[in-house]
Structure 1
Amino acid sequence: MDIMQFLDIILHVDKVLGTIITQYGTWVYVILFAIIFCETGLVVAPFLPGDTLLFIGGAFCATGAMSVELLIIMLIIAAVTGDNLNYFIGRKIGRAVFTKNYRWIDKKALMMTQVFFEKHGGKTITMCRFVPLVRTFAPFVAGVSEMHLLKFQIYNVVGAIVWVVGLVLGGYFFGNIPIIRDHLNTIVLLGIAAAVVPLVLGGLWKFYKKTVRSS
């Protein structure tokens, strides 16, 4: 297997999970742990599958291919430790990240997360678990902003539990229903829209009110 094939498998692991389980057995838990850890812990890896991977993983648990309890525990640990790594990287780099040109950081995603963080504070860490891209940058921005570590950990752990348990059990109970399995990407997109659109509209409304007052 060359590097391109390996990357293709990682990027589409939610679609080839059955094959991975067959070929690697219990190592699948380590593979899924690594993917969730990297997606939440490295700002260079926001492209990795998160929501769909958790949901599909739960669906395979329902077939007996994996243990739902073990998967949930492993992925909660991955999400919590990943966010911690991201937090401390952000804390180490500091606010220079907003002025210096780091090629490995998506500046648009960073600024979007910063705006989100300024509006919602520490709750961003929990809320953004369900928002791809922002999910990866939220703990990094928390570190850059020097959010209190204990406060960060509370939001981090609560968010990880709600995210992992919610999506894995969602897949466990509903992932093998044909209409849901066949339209999973559409359902995920609708879920993302349901989470993001109200926030965007709220931001636009606040901007509109501020503009009216100043005119």
Structure 2
Amino acid sequence: MFESFVQSVIEFVSTHREWAWALAFAFAFLETVAFVSLFIPSTVILAGVGTLIAADALEFWPIWVGASAGALVGSTLSFAIGRRFGPAVFAAWPLNRDPALVDRGRAAFARWGTPAVLAAHFIGPLRSVAFILAGASAMRLLAFQLANVPGALAWAYLTPKSGEIGGALLGSLWRTLTGGA
């Protein structure tokens, strides 16, 4: 089911290229909204979209702009939810299922602060909770955004770019093996 969903989205993007930037926005947004990324394979989809870039079916920059904006909006929304509800967030599902994990998360923000936010963009399981934990831990908005903005921009660049590079390498290997052009 997971693979068929990912494949269906990538085929849709390929067929409806004019919507690629909006879909990149939506999937990056979903990837950075607290807990939602546990259920939506957005990183895999954006890397798969990168293979379309390698095949010259899409341009990179609209994907990057859409994914960057989506990641910034989603992570900032999660931060705002954390700030709004404060420590009550720690008692909500799914955080209430593992109090030790919550304690480690709070300790990480107390110790690492902005670098923890930056790293969270690149660590899948952490990405689903890091931004809401930063807000609930009372991190200042400016400190959050100083790490969030470059983290979101870099993640939005590297995720589809990894698919583009992987797709280009596989295409080159295929042409070498088959003697195709």
TM-score interval (norm. to shorter): 0.7 to 0.9
Counterpart Cα distance in 2 of 1:31 and 1:51: 12
Counterpart Cα distance in 1 of 2:96 and 2:23: 25
Match of 2:152 in 1: 160
Structure with greater helix percent: 2
Question: Which amino acid is 2:18 matched to?
Answer: T
Out of 108, 116, 123, the position equivalent to 2:98 is 108
Match of 1:79 in 2: 71
Q: Deviations over 1:143-171 (max 9, x none)?
A: 10111111111100110112121222222
Match of 1:139 in 2: 131
Question: Which amino acid is 1:139 matched to?
Answer: F
Instruction: Tell me, yes or no, if the aligned pair for 1:43 and 1:86 is still in contact at 8 Å.
Output: no
Match of 2:177 in 1: none
Equivalent pairs counted in the alignment come to 170
Q: What's the offset of the Cα at 1:122?
A: 1.5
Change (3 A) 1:50 1:108: farther
TM-score by length of 2: 0.79
Q: CA RMSD in A?
A: 2.7
Counterpart Cα distance in 1 of 2:146 and 2:41: 24
Gaps of 5+ in 2: 172-181
Question: Which amino acid is 2:7 matched to?
Answer: K
Q: Percent identity?
A: 26
Higher relative CO (Cα under 8 Å, sequence separation at least 6) belongs to 2
* 2:161 equivalent to 1:172: no
Match of 2:40 in 1: 48
TM-score by length of 1: 0.68
Q: What's the offset of the Cα at 1:89?
A: 0.4
Match of 1:129 in 2: 121
Gaps of 5+ in 1: 1-7, 180-215
